[in-house]
Amino acid sequence: MDNPETLKTAAARLPLTQKQMATLLAMLVALMPFAIDTYLPAMPEMAEDLGSNIHRIEQSLSMFMFGVAFGQLLGGPLSDIKGRKPVALAGLLVHAVSLVGLTLVTTADQLLMLRALQALGAGLTVVVVGATVRDYYDGRQAAQMFALIGIILMIVPLMAPMVGALLLSVGGWRAIFGFLLAYTLLLLVLVGRFLPKPQKADKIGADIVGVVAGRFKRVLQTRAALGYMFFQAFSFASMFAFLTESSFVYMNLYGVSSHAYAWIFALNILTMASFNRITAWRLKSGTHPQSILRWGIIVQFAANLLMVLLVSALTLPPLWALVMCVMLSVGTQGLISANTQACFMGYFKQESGSANAVSGVCQSLIGAGMGMLTTWMHNGLALVMPGMMLAATVCGIALLWGLSHQAWLENDRNKEAF
């Protein structure tokens, strides 16, 4: 761990207060939920307009996550070498250019290609967020910062499907990408003005590949941290399986409208925000992040298992029962994300950008893979969604225990030292 006084001095030099910095970083992270959630209610109309099967349009979600993974893989080490701000600005520029193209697409193939480019820009941008927090905050304070970002960020996935449904009714699905373009341009201005400038750039000569590889190697050799990283990735994959199939299950199987879908989706975010608030409160009172994480794991596993049992027994259980299970499962991101991130990033300082990139790439690839597998397994039944959600959670638990059980036990014994 770094000297808390050193980090406190560095934080004091920031041009923004802690809450203002959290707001800016949350706005950067918000690129992801805006890019993913805003067009969920528009998928059926997009498929019809582009002459494609809806599951081809659903694959654009996984394509987006694959692109994000590559962007994070590239942007993490570059942000360690050249600074967070230049990488974020480059990512936002790529993101903006791709969105211009997305407003003009005429085929599903064009949509997939430009979504991948959009994702590259998003990956370059969001990868700097965790590293920026790690640059200026440590331990429980870092977990509090991640939780604060999470609280601010909750409004985006809450409103994104509603904004998408509104734009869909007013200007069609292309208006959604126009809105995202305007948001990206706003971020370009804010990042250029307020994100801290690089303190210094490392002089690495021509051996940039060797430096990058070395940073990734050091991260991947830290076994104690990897279990936390993999659980976070598979927990996200559980939610991503829901995102992939939710429009089909709710709108096709249950027959809800796009506006009703947005309101049902919002219930998940309200639950997530409530759990996130519990995380912030418990961290402030001195609870170890791992203790909160334990409850997140229990609740997510129980909710997904109950959902599988209900759908297996009833095929189409009452909508309220399915919605309640999904709310608890997806909502546990408020108990999991900030705490796994704090436990994982606590092992790294010099490689914080690379560590954040490895974590982000792992989350994106596993989430994208789970989403793609969900579309391949689609058989017109509701069981695919909860089945994939449960499978992802079980995989995460197994990897957490297999890789980090010693670190978990040590953290349980040394809670006050974190």
Report pLDDT for 387. Answer: 93
H runs (alpha helix) in 248-351: 258-284, 289-314, 319-331, 333-345
The model's pLDDT over 45-69, given as tens digits with 9 standing for 90+, comes to 888 898 888 778 888 888 888 888 8
Write the single-letter amino acid at 402: G
Report pLDDT for 24. Answer: 85
Instruction: Give the tokens for residue 210.
Output: 């060797």
The residue behind tokens 């197994």 is 398
Report pLDDT for 210. Answer: 65
Cα distance between residue 219 and residue 364, in whole Å: 17
H runs (alpha helix) in 16-53: 18-29, 31-37, 43-49
3-class DSSP state of 1: coil
Cα distance between residue 16 and residue 416, in whole Å: 29
Q: For the chain, how far is it from start to end, CA to CA, in angstroms?
A: 9
Domain count, the chain: 1
The residue behind tokens 């004091």 is 12
What pTM, to 2 d.p., does this model score? 0.69
Residue whose C-alpha is closest to residue 304's, from 236, 217, 391: 391
The model's pLDDT over 361-396, given as tens digits with 9 standing for 90+, comes to 788 788 888 888 888 887 778 899 999 999 999 999
CB within 8 Å of 389: residues ≥ 6 apart? 238, 239, 241, 242, 304, 307, 329
Report pLDDT for 157. Answer: 72
Question: b vs e for 253-287, b when ≥16 Cβ sit within 10 Å of the residue's Cβ?
Answer: bbebebebbbebbbbbbebbbebbebbbebbeeeb
Residue whose C-alpha is closest to residue 191's, from 129, 263, 107, 274: 129
The number of beta carbons lying within 10 Å of the beta carbon of residue 16 is 14
Kindly report the CA angle at 275 between 272 and 277, in degrees rounded to 5?
Answer: 110
Cα distance between residue 51 and residue 42, in whole Å: 14
CATH number at residue 105: 1.20.1250.20
Does position 235 have pLDDT exceeding 80, yes or no?
yes
CB 50 within 8 A of CB 57: yes
CB within 8 Å of 187: residues ≥ 6 apart? 27, 28, 31, 92, 125
Instruction: Give the tokens for residue 266.
Output: 């919002």
Does position 240 have pLDDT exceeding 60, yes or no?
yes
Average pLDDT for 208-227 = 72
Name the CA radius of gyration of the chain, rounded.
20
Report pLDDT for 291. Answer: 83
Does position 298 have pLDDT exceeding 90, yes or no?
yes
169: containing domain: 4-197+204-417
